[in-house]
Amino acid sequence: MKKNKRKEILENIKLFIGGVFDFKDMSSKLVEKNAMDEFDNFMLLCFGDLIGIPLPTTYYTLELLPYLAEDLKGWEYRIMGRKDIYMDRWGDFDN
C-alpha cells in the first residue's frame, strides 16, 4: 500500500513538473496555431473574394493590400489546400 502511494505521489510530481516547464513546447505550438487561425480569419474576411467568396467590402480592403501582400500567397496556399474552409474554421467550436 505504501509503495503504491509513493509511486502515485512521484507520478503526480512528474506530471506537475512536466506541465510547469512544458518540455514538449505544446503551449507555444498552441499559441502559434491560434495566431495563424486568427490571421487566416482576418485574411478570409478581407480577401475572401480571391478564392470565390463574394464580399461587399472589397474596395475598402484593397487599401490593406500593400501591407499584406507578402503574406497573401502563403495564406492562399493554406486556404486552397483545405477541403472545406467553413467547416475547418467553425469545426473547432463543436466541442
User: How confident is the model over 66-88, as pLDDT tens digits?
Assistant: 888 888 888 878 777 776 666 66
- Report residue 71 as a C-alpha cell: 503574406
Query: What value does the mean pLDDT take over residues 7-13?
Result: 90
Helix 65-80 vs helix 26-47: crossing angle, to nearest 10: 110
Contact 33, 78 (CB under 8 A): no
- Report residue 61 as a C-alpha cell: 480592403
Contact 42, 79 (CB under 8 A): no
pLDDT tens digits, residue range 32-64? 888 888 888 888 888 777 777 787 777 777 788
What does the domain layout of the chain look like in residue ranges? 23-94
Contact 43, 68 (CB under 8 A): yes
